[in-house]
Structure formats: structure tokens, C-alpha cells
Structure 1
């Protein structure tokens, strides 16, 4: 953007607003209308309460933004939380357009890059749900834009702002730590008139911006911002194969163009290529080595970097053409970026369901087709989690106690806390394998009817079934205690049954 006159800057801004506004309309049209499952439902509840806890609940920046919007909008808290993701995602695309247009001196390249990211599977999926990643990516792409601006015009204010924002973005997600090698390289590699002053400003910005994060980490009894439960391990061949599948599903027919763009940047701007390569490599290495069910989401920063390379590739290819041929190729690239993905995303889960294949690690829950839910980003009209929670809470007897795992527990808690549904029901999650589920059920069964949300691996069924008979009860399972004198193999015993009556008489 260096050397642009006022008219060119205005045109660039209008294009940025156009692409941001367009993708925002897309995300609003495909936005989840209500409460979802698991993490999404928890974030939707936190958007209402404004509380920040430890572990997965410790994303203070997202909670602050979502809670403020939830209080201001006359809408359901869950929808308001989903809207935060859509707004941030649209802003990410707008900033990316400006960044790529400035780097390549080509607005068409900015459109290709912006639309490719906007319609990529994982980015779109998290733009219509209550998740922290689009807010994190907004901080991420703004840091990149500020650092590239500092390279063009080495002003101290830009450097201070870039590293200050990098520190602040840690409150959105600690995934930014994967970018630190690249930030350090850029700080050292970019020519600067006064290196000592530049290093001091970068350190000052990082300390000032990261101070809230440091305080949150050091506070007794509080979890680190963005803490994730999982484990690091060596890269496995299986993870590499899955990763290649994820990349193919994101960018489909544009992958060769992105690889070409990375090569062309390496030839034209080696320091910039190394900077982006370090960003890309940090994200990919972490995604490959961190073991969690939603491992795929940690590729998001790398997808953003790849979108920049797509812009480089598009600019290089279009520069070789002129007239009608250039226009035809531009239309073709835009269709590949924005037209092909929705069709592929809709056909893929349909084909997998037809073949009775389930390629995803997600657990089964009522009213959710896993292939469709995870592989098809649009969530307009989806109310499976609300339907499940409403039916379960309506079916339980007074003062029931329900032991539930994370995924179904969170929509139940949302309805109970946010909407005041069935406050008499006790909802609890106890992790399996710790010997705590059975004692809790025994204690609660003395005064309450007790239930399990499911019979999945999240429950110590071998232990529980020594003292309880588990019978279907609508969408959940009732745990009926055996009488003290009854062997664990007995069946058909519950309070008021014939077996219970005969036991009492004897």
C-alpha cells in the first residue's frame, strides 16, 4: 500500500467493505439459530453469564466481547454468541483482502484469497458457531498486516501496536504461541534505522499487551487463557494422512495455485516467504502433534497463510494474461474459490451416509448426523441440541440427578441456566476412570432418582452395573439400584416394582 494515493486507498477500502459485507451475509444466512453441543453450548452460556473460569472456560477476550453483544442485542443469547463468530470472520476476510492486495498490488488476487478462506470448510464452520477461533484469527491477521506495514514504513507506532496486539491476542487463544518464531524472525530480519529502539518497542508492546494474560496465568486457582486438554506427541503417519485430507477438503482445486504462489513469493520476496513459511510451519506442526478430537481446528492459522499464497499465485498467473483471457481466468478462479466448495461440502456427507461410512471422531448424540454436522458448514435451521435438551429436561421426574458427559451436558446446562428450565434437576459431569461416578450415583440415589445421559465410553459402566440396572428412559437411561440382598445380575428391580415389593416383604 506504500505509494498509494487517496483515491486508490479509498477504492481498496470499498473493496474490503464489499468482500466483508458479502461474506457476512453468507454467514448470517447459514448461522446456527440456537444452542449447539459441547463447547459451543458452553460458550453460548458464558456469553449470557459473562463468567470466566479455568480451562476451556478461560477465554476472557471472547467472553467479554460476546457478553457485551449479548446484553445489547434483543435476541437469544446463543444466537448472539454465534453472531460474534460471524462478525469476526467477516472482518478477518476484509483484513486479509487488504493484506493480499497490498502485497501483490492486485485487487483481484485479494478477492481470490479472501473468498478462498471465507468458503474454506473449517473457517466457514467456525464462522457460524459460538467458538473463539474467528476472534483469534482477527487478532492474528491484524498482527500480520501491522508487521507488513512496519516493513514498508518502519514507524515505531506500528511495531508497538503489532506486538501489543500479539500479546492481547493470547487472551483469545494461546495458539498464537505457534507464531512467535516467525515474529522473532521478522523483528530481526526487517531492515530498521535504529535496531535497539525497535527491539525495545517490540518488547514493551508484548509486555503491555500480554500483561492481562500474565496476570490471569499467575492468579491463584485460575487456568491459563485458552488452556486445552490434550497431549503433545510425535507426528504420526495417520495424522499426516488426515492432515492432507483436511487440506484437500479446504481448498479443493486451488491447492496447486497456493503451492505455486508460495514458490513465486520465494523467488520475489525471500524474507517475506520465510516469515509466512514459519507461520505456516508452526501451525501445521502443532496441529499434527497435539492429540485432541478437534485437532483439525489448529490448522486455521496455516489456512490463512495459505490463502495469502493463493493470492500470490493468482496475481502471478493473471499478470501473464490480458484482455478476455484474463477476465475468463479470474471468473474461473473466483468460482473455484466460492462456487465449488458449497457443492462439495453438501455432496460429501450425503455420499458418506449413502455408503454408511463415518470418517469422523465425533460421538453419536440424538438429532445429529455427524457427517452432515461436521462436514457441511451451514447450520441454518439446526435445532437438534435444543430439541434434545428440552425433551430430556421435560421427561425427567422432579429433583432428578443426571450424570452426563460434556457434549450432551452443555445444552442441558444452557437451558437450565439461561432460560431457567427445570432448576430442580441436578446436572453433573464426572470424568470416567477415577472411581468417582459410582459413589456419586449411590449417594444421589438415596434421595433422588438418578439417570445417565448415555452408555458411551464416558461412563464407568462396568462399575456402575454392579449396583445399578440401566434402563432406557426416553433419550437417557435410568439407573435403578439393586436392593442390598439382590445379586448384581438381577433384573427388573426398581422402587415400586414387584421385585422391590417382594424384597421388602421378605
Structure 2
């Protein structure tokens, strides 16, 4: 319900707008390299495109909203199974649900919420395996991680942890080589959409090494992915990203949760995987240097929400006072009030938030600091007015921020087909490449 209400109703700027453009053209591969193709997400979004209900852009945006809701539900189920208590599970789920970056990406067309839903599903199956020793859960883990790879290459990080876990299980005689073969086969099955693109590009180009590099890094992000250097600017921004997502005293429960995770006896193997993922996700995002690296903290925020849930469990086992639990419940919703007030406060303080601030009908403080996009129509309004002002057969040289809504209004709404809209990555059908 929350994400359905906060979901943007139509055209969007930048990456989200380009996602809508690709879905409109049923483009599963994209134009920025295989690592940015996210084929399974687009297969699902293209399916949503063909549902004859409502606005096209809204349907595409709702894919993220539905996936976000599924991710939150999976986290709640995971924590309930793990801790055996409802309240810590609910607090963990609410913490993730109202964290800024996750909520923001559940309100627009993006791939991260679908990946998160699959990732948390993976952790559920791994937890169940460690409790029951039924290899069927490992088979399902392989399938889910393969599907996650077909959504986003972030799935490689947990894949490494699962690989170590499975190797140790094999050495200790808990599983057989036959089981690993089945897990691998199901992983390959789940990743088929991505594997198809890789094999297809190898066949078309004959460049095996180049195709594999594109699959790992995209066209231009190898240096960012492999970066090992930091600057004070990056460190400061990263700290602010984390603070923006957990502006509540409940964040202190993260440390209590870490203590509980470290000392708890049952489920040692699963706890080690969780702690390893927390560290790896943090390190990956913290030294990443792409402009939208704030989105790559989402996996880490999932782990933080889990640790906060564990912290609630630790506190609840020591303090049996309802007033404390009520305070935790209220404080879990404090971020909503913070995000409501943040744009006005930031604007009054003239804070620089690293955005352009020159896009018509987009107050960057509101657009970026408030995660909800309810009723937002600025991108479409800009595009309609821009197309309305140019002469017949004009050529518009757009940038990557504005090209998507311009093409949306032209192609989806059928307005001004005579105008040629061009950029280096997308253009009108009749425009010169």
C-alpha cells in the first residue's frame, strides 16, 4: 500500500526515464553494456507494459513498487523465522521500508527492489537449510541467485559467500558432489536471460574477452568497480548517505544487533554468512565511485535492518517494558517525518546536495530528499512544453537527464512526431544516430 501510493504516476528523468524508454521499445539488452542490461527486470516490466490498465509509465513504475513490497515482506519473514518473534521482525521490515534510498527506488522505475526481493529470498532458503539440512533449500538458493544475477550483477557478492558455504559443506560431508551439480544447473537455469545476452553478443561480435568485460563492468565502469582509493569527499558523502537512511535513534540498535549476532550460539554458519555479507556490501559501496553510488548501499541497508531487528530482540530479552517497545515502534517511523521536513530545511540552509538544480519543474530538494513521488508530473510537463515551443521539424539536442521524458511524450503520448530528439544514447526513430 505504501509504495503503491508513493509510486510516480508517469514519465521520469534520468535513469528511470531511460528504463521506461527501454521498456517501451521492448529492449532487453540496452545500450550501456551487458552489466547494465538487467534482462529479467525488463522481461517483467515489458509484461507489465502490455497490461491494458492505466498509464504506461505508472505500470512500469509499479514493478518497482510491487517488488519493494515483496522485499519488505521477505525481510519480515526472514527475521520471524530466524528469531521466532514478531516484533523484531516487524521493526526490521519497517526500518528497511522507510529507509530513504530503498523507498525512493520503490517509487520509480528501477531494478534494485526486484534484486532485493530475490536476495532476501535467498537468505530465507539458506536459513532454512541451516536449520533443516534439507538440500532442497540449497537447490532453491541456486535458482534464486541465478534469477538475481539476471536482474543485477550485485548478486555476485552473495554468490561468493554461498560458494564458500557450499564448499565447506561438501568438505564436511553434509552435501554430495551430485548436490552441487544440481545447484549449479538450477543457477544456470535462473540466469538464462543474462546468459542468453552474453552468448548472443559473443556470437555477433566474435569478441569473447570484450563481451565478458561488458558483462562484468558495462561499457565504462571497470575503473569504478575495481576502485581501491578513497577521498575525504567520498567518505563524507558515504557517511551522509547512511545517516540519511536511518535518521532515528533506533539506528543505535544496529550495534546491539551486531553484538547479538556475534555472541549467539544457534545458527553459527548462517550468522557468519550474514556478517560476511554486511562487510562485503559495505566495502563495495563505500569505495564505489559512480555518481549514483548511493543506490549501491541498498544491500548494506538490508543487512543494517536485519541487525537492528536483532538489536530489538536483544533489548526485548533484557527489558520487558512495553513503554520501551512502544518507543521503538514510534521511532521506527521517525524517518518519514524527517523526509517530509528535510527539503525545506535544506533549502533554507542552502545545502548543496550534489544535483544540477536547473531542471524545470523539479525542485531537487524535494525530488531527491523525499522518497515518495506521489502525483509527480514535472518531467512530463517539461517535455510537453519543450516540444510545444519548437518549430516544425526541429531538432532537439537533449542530455541524459531530459531525453527520456521528451521521448516519452513524443512516442508514448504521440506528441510532435515531426521533432527529432537526439542524444548519444537514445533518439527519436527518425533522428540521425
User: How many angstroms does 1:88 deviate by?
Assistant: 0.6
Counterpart pick for 1:206 among 187, 190, 193 = 187
Counterpart residue number, 1:47: 23
Partner of 2:259: 263
Distance 1:156 1:416 in 2: 52
Corresponding position of 1:320:
318
Of 66, 69, 74 in structure 2, the residue corresponding to residue 87 of structure 1 is 66
For 2:417, the equivalent position in structure 1 comes to 423
Are the counterparts in 1 of residues 79 and 309 from structure 2 also a CA contact under 8 Å? Answer: yes
Structure 2 residue aligned with 1:295? 293
CA distance in 2, matches of 1:212, 1:64: 9
* CA 1:108–1:173: 2 relative to 1, 3 Å: same
Provide structure 2 residue ranges, at least 5 long, that are not aligned to the other structure. Answer: 205-210, 426-430
Which one has the largest radius of gyration?
1
CA displacement at 1:84 relative to structure 2 = 0.8
1:36 match? 12
RMSD: 2.2
CA contact (8 A) 1:117 1:307 kept: yes
TM-score if structure 1 supplies the norm length?
0.76
Structure 2 residue 338 is the aligned partner of structure 1 residue 344: yes
1:360 CA drift (Å): 2.3
In 2, are the aligned partners of 1:172 and 1:225 still within 8 Å (CA)? no
Tell me if structure 2 keeps the 8 A contact 1:235–1:288. no
Q: Which consecutive unaligned segments of at least 5 residues does structure 1 have?
A: 1-24, 432-443, 449-506
Contact kept? 2:97, 2:103, Cα under 8 Å: yes
Distance in 2 (alpha carbons) for counterparts of 1:225 and 1:85:
24
Is 1:309 equivalent to 2:304 in the alignment?
Answer: no
- Higher RCO (CA < 8 A, seq sep 6+): 2
Query: What residue in structure 2 maps to residue 149 of structure 1?
Result: 128
Matches within 5 A, 1:478-497: none
Per-residue deviation, residues 101-148 of structure 1 (Å, max 9, x unmatched): 111111111000000000000011011101111111111111111111
Q: Secondary structure at the match of 2:350?
A: coil
The partner residue of 1:121 within 100, 110, 117 is 100
Instruction: Quickly say closer, same or farther: Cα 1:266–1:192, change in 2 above 3 A.
Output: farther
Report the CA distance shift for 1:226/1:88 in structure 2 as closer, same or farther (over 3 A). farther
After superposition, give the CA deviation of every residue in 1:319-369 in whole Å (9 maximum; x if it has no partner): 1133xx1x222221121112x111111222211101222222456311111
- String of CA shifts for 1:13-38, please: whole Å, max 9, x gaps: xxxxxxxxxxxx11122221111101
Secondary structure, counterpart of 1:172 in structure 2: coil
Q: Does 1:355 align with 2:349?
A: yes
Aligned in 2, Cα 1:228/1:345: closer, same or farther, shift over 3 Å? Answer: farther
Q: Which residue of 2 aligns with 1:196?
A: 177
- The size of the alignment, in residue pairs, is 405
Cα distance in 1 for residues equivalent to 2:303 and 2:168: 19
Given candidates 235, 238, 247, the residue that maps to 2:233 is 238
- Distance verdict in 2 for CA 1:194–1:64, change over 3 Å: closer
1:259-303 CA distance string (max 9 Å, x none): 210221111144333211221222222212322111100011111
Deviates more, 1:240-249 or 1:371-380: 240-249
What stretches of structure 1 move > 4 A for 4+ residues in a row?
Answer: 189-192
Matched-pair contact (CA < 8 Å) for 2:88–2:312: yes
Contact residue 170 and residue 225 of structure 1 kept, 8 A: no
The 2-side partners of 1:90 and 1:356 are apart by 34
The equivalent of 2:2 in structure 1 is 26
Structure 2 partner of 1:413: 407
Structure 1 residue 68 and structure 2 residue 68: aligned? no
